[in-house]
Amino acid sequence: MAAAGWSSLPADLLTEISARLSSDADYLHIHQVCPHWRAFTVPPSAYRPWLVAGREGRGSGLQLIGEYSLRLVRGDAPGTGVHDPPSDLPYCCGASRGWLALVDDDQNPTRLVLWEPLSNTDISLPCLSLIT
Protein backbone atom coordinates (compact mmCIF):
# COMPACT_ATOMS: atom_id res chain seq x y z
CA MET A 1 0.00 0.00 0.00
CA ALA A 2 1.44 3.38 -1.03
CA ALA A 3 1.86 6.09 1.59
CA ALA A 4 -0.32 9.18 1.23
CA GLY A 5 1.46 12.31 0.00
CA TRP A 6 1.73 15.68 1.67
CA SER A 7 -1.11 17.00 -0.49
CA SER A 8 -3.56 14.68 1.26
CA LEU A 9 -3.17 16.07 4.80
CA PRO A 10 -6.53 16.41 6.59
CA ALA A 11 -8.20 19.82 6.22
CA ASP A 12 -8.50 20.36 10.00
CA LEU A 13 -4.75 19.79 10.43
CA LEU A 14 -3.92 22.26 7.63
CA THR A 15 -6.24 24.85 9.18
CA GLU A 16 -4.61 24.39 12.60
CA ILE A 17 -1.07 24.62 11.23
CA SER A 18 -1.75 27.67 9.05
CA ALA A 19 -3.44 29.50 11.94
CA ARG A 20 -0.19 29.21 13.93
CA LEU A 21 2.14 30.64 11.27
CA SER A 22 3.92 33.75 12.46
CA SER A 23 5.54 35.08 9.29
CA ASP A 24 4.12 36.28 6.01
CA ALA A 25 6.73 34.23 4.15
CA ASP A 26 5.54 31.01 5.83
CA TYR A 27 1.94 31.86 4.92
CA LEU A 28 2.99 32.50 1.32
CA HIS A 29 4.86 29.19 1.10
CA ILE A 30 2.12 27.01 2.63
CA HIS A 31 -0.44 28.72 0.39
CA GLN A 32 1.55 27.75 -2.73
CA VAL A 33 1.95 24.01 -2.07
CA CYS A 34 -1.18 22.80 -3.87
CA PRO A 35 -4.88 23.65 -4.38
CA HIS A 36 -5.91 21.47 -1.39
CA TRP A 37 -3.57 23.33 0.97
CA ARG A 38 -4.61 26.70 -0.48
CA ALA A 39 -8.30 25.89 0.15
CA PHE A 40 -7.74 25.25 3.85
CA THR A 41 -5.07 27.85 4.64
CA VAL A 42 -6.25 30.39 7.19
CA PRO A 43 -5.32 33.96 6.20
CA PRO A 44 -3.11 35.86 8.67
CA SER A 45 -5.16 37.53 11.38
CA ALA A 46 -3.33 40.83 11.04
CA TYR A 47 -2.40 42.01 7.58
CA ARG A 48 1.00 43.60 7.73
CA PRO A 49 2.03 46.06 5.01
CA TRP A 50 4.35 43.71 3.09
CA LEU A 51 4.70 45.92 0.03
CA VAL A 52 8.03 45.03 -1.48
CA ALA A 53 10.69 42.50 -0.53
CA GLY A 54 14.20 43.58 -1.36
CA ARG A 55 17.62 41.99 -1.36
CA GLU A 56 20.35 43.72 0.61
CA GLY A 57 23.32 44.87 -1.42
CA ARG A 58 21.58 44.41 -4.79
CA GLY A 59 18.96 47.13 -4.81
CA SER A 60 15.84 46.99 -2.74
CA GLY A 61 13.24 46.44 -5.44
CA LEU A 62 11.86 49.94 -4.88
CA GLN A 63 12.84 53.55 -5.16
CA LEU A 64 11.43 56.11 -2.77
CA ILE A 65 9.73 58.88 -4.77
CA GLY A 66 8.17 60.95 -2.02
CA GLU A 67 6.84 60.56 1.47
CA TYR A 68 3.92 58.37 0.34
CA SER A 69 4.86 56.67 -2.93
CA LEU A 70 7.32 54.15 -4.36
CA ARG A 71 8.57 53.43 -7.85
CA LEU A 72 8.48 49.69 -8.52
CA VAL A 73 11.63 48.20 -10.01
CA ARG A 74 11.12 45.28 -12.39
CA GLY A 75 12.78 41.93 -11.88
CA ASP A 76 12.21 38.44 -10.59
CA ALA A 77 11.99 37.59 -6.93
CA PRO A 78 12.93 33.88 -7.25
CA GLY A 79 11.03 31.45 -5.06
CA THR A 80 8.40 33.90 -3.85
CA GLY A 81 5.65 33.31 -6.39
CA VAL A 82 5.07 37.05 -6.49
CA HIS A 83 4.35 38.32 -9.99
CA ASP A 84 5.83 41.44 -11.57
CA PRO A 85 3.42 44.38 -11.43
CA PRO A 86 1.79 45.57 -14.66
CA SER A 87 4.55 47.16 -16.74
CA ASP A 88 2.72 50.38 -17.51
CA LEU A 89 1.98 51.26 -13.86
CA PRO A 90 5.30 52.23 -12.27
CA TYR A 91 4.17 53.79 -8.99
CA CYS A 92 2.68 52.33 -5.81
CA CYS A 93 0.70 54.95 -3.91
CA GLY A 94 -1.02 52.79 -1.28
CA ALA A 95 -1.87 49.32 0.00
CA SER A 96 -4.58 47.53 1.96
CA ARG A 97 -5.15 43.86 2.80
CA GLY A 98 -2.62 42.60 0.27
CA TRP A 99 -3.76 44.85 -2.59
CA LEU A 100 -1.51 47.58 -3.99
CA ALA A 101 -2.81 50.81 -5.53
CA LEU A 102 -0.72 51.33 -8.67
CA VAL A 103 -0.74 54.53 -10.67
CA ASP A 104 0.88 56.10 -13.70
CA ASP A 105 0.61 59.81 -13.05
CA ASP A 106 2.81 60.64 -16.05
CA GLN A 107 -0.25 60.06 -18.24
CA ASN A 108 -3.23 62.38 -18.50
CA PRO A 109 -5.76 61.29 -17.39
CA THR A 110 -4.00 59.40 -14.60
CA ARG A 111 -4.52 55.62 -14.75
CA LEU A 112 -5.21 53.84 -11.43
CA VAL A 113 -5.34 50.06 -10.81
CA LEU A 114 -5.71 47.85 -7.73
CA TRP A 115 -3.34 44.86 -8.02
CA GLU A 116 -2.93 41.72 -5.89
CA PRO A 117 0.61 40.35 -6.41
CA LEU A 118 0.07 36.74 -5.30
CA SER A 119 -2.77 35.99 -7.71
CA ASN A 120 -1.73 38.63 -10.28
CA THR A 121 -5.29 39.96 -10.26
CA ASP A 122 -5.90 43.57 -11.17
CA ILE A 123 -8.96 45.82 -11.09
CA SER A 124 -8.96 48.95 -13.23
CA LEU A 125 -10.44 52.01 -11.57
CA PRO A 126 -11.84 55.05 -13.37
CA CYS A 127 -9.12 57.37 -14.67
CA LEU A 128 -8.39 60.53 -12.72
CA SER A 129 -8.25 63.79 -14.61
CA LEU A 130 -6.72 67.02 -13.44
CA ILE A 131 -9.00 69.38 -11.57
CA THR A 132 -8.62 72.89 -12.94
Smallest Cα–Cα separation from 81: which of 36, 37, 120? 120
Could you tell me which residues come within 8 angstroms of residue 124 by beta carbon, excluding any fewer than 6 positions away?
Answer: 111, 112, 113
- Nearest CA to 121 among 96, 86, 87? 86
pTM: 0.45
Reference 85, options 104, 64, 106; nearest CA is 104
Is the separation of the CB atoms in 104 and 110 below 8 Å?
yes
Query: Which one has a higher pLDDT value, 83 or 19?
Result: 19
pLDDT class of 123 with cuts at 50, 70, 90: very high
- Domain definitions of the chain by residue range: 8-39, 62-128
Which residues touch 96 (CB under 8 Å, ≥6 apart)? Answer: 47
Per residue in 86-98, pLDDT tens? 777 777 777 777 7
